[in-house]
Amino acid sequence: MLTKWLRKILPGKPAAASLKQVLPPTEHGISPDGISYAAEKVVSRLHQAGFEAYVVGGAVRDLLLGIEPKDFDVATNARPEQVRKVFRRSRIIGRRFQIVHVMVGQETIEVTTFRGGKRPARQNELGRIMQDNSYGSMEQDAARRDFTCNALYYNPARQEITDFHHGVADIRAKRLVMIGDARSRYQEDPVRMLRAARLSGKLGFQVAPDTAAPIAECLHLLPKEPLARLFDEVMKLLFSGAAVDCLKQMQTLGMGGAAVHPLLTCALERLPENNGRGIVALALHSTDKRLREDLGVSVGFVLAAVLWPQVRENWQRGQAGGLKPMPALSAAVGDMRGRMEKGWGVPQRFAASMREIWLLQPQFEHRRGARPFRLLAQPRFRAAYDFLLLRAQAGEADQAVADWWTSFQEADEELRKQMIQSAEQRPAAEGDAPAKKRRRRRKKKPAAEQAGEVQAMQREGSAE
């Protein structure tokens, strides 16, 4: 009570509420058409049920930047079980902090309850928040978010943005600013360091000095994060549509030498390979381009490219040790598989795709007999062929071989036979079996004639 009375009569820092800004449509410029139908429906239904509800976070940030949001999140003062009652197609998930997934048509909207700071969250010995189901007001929720650009609340009905931490100004200045003390916020959730690199790299933001400074001394916390959560954040970075810029931003922030995750380590180490024209850089540039053009990408293919330099080196080492190409590659792939299964968090469906792509690479050298047709019939042929093109582009596979397979796919049956005949006239590739001569089958003699010969042989034997 004394503290509250002193704050009333003594000058001091302005209260957080004095920072609150409510921006009308004329000041922020967001069009209502930019809000997805599903998000607008969720907000509207919560309003009808008597609750506060806002579109929040990255979607509002992207709309201010003129970027079409990939997904929409909603924040409300309704508790998870209350949200669940409002929406039949919904489910409560999460242990650390419960959220509700609301399904509207084919779209899923993530609904979170305003977080508060009244009840201390359960933390581990390193300061990381382990459980945080404490609820509060919108202002308290804004203070608990990571960066100012993500602490914006948009009301579709009134078309207003509520901003507690000058997030709109920071977005316009292309500045990434942590809310609160950055060191404490990284200790609460170390993944925020990767998020800082991803957001600044993807959006072209400058990380504020106070936000960047503690990263180097907090990096040791990242490998201690739950494996699934860390892998998920690595995937968000690699498939952000700006993976190359995000990796460069990691180096700028002093995260380049940290053993955060083997996938990131390999990507960071191999990105400059061949003056930026190595297979890792080519694959990530191509992935960024496809994502910007809203085209599909294969996770297994991209991960296969990121880890290929390690597989390739072990493959070459095995051949130098006397193994033939296929056994040497199988050993290299087996070694990589063993390492991935020791705690990389790579789902089996991606790991299996990577192994198949790698193991099919030597098969492209064999262009004789029925082998090309068998390879063409492989379910993973297209991904393996694209990988061959990538290797050729990086200068580590024969471009003539890649061109041959490009033509072979497009050719009709007669032309394919001619291409194989031409290939058979060239020297065989290592591992290619020489063309076998067709044996002529001896015609069987009639049964009566065979019986006569047998009887003759028996008479000769008895005479002797």
Catalytically annotated residues: 71, 73, 146
Strand partners, 162: 22, 153
Question: Which tokens belong to 380?
Answer: 């993973």
Q: Which residues contact 133 (CB under 8 A, 6 or more apart)?
A: 97, 98
Q: Which of 216, 234, 458 is nearest to 346 (CA)?
A: 234
Q: What type of residue is 252?
A: T
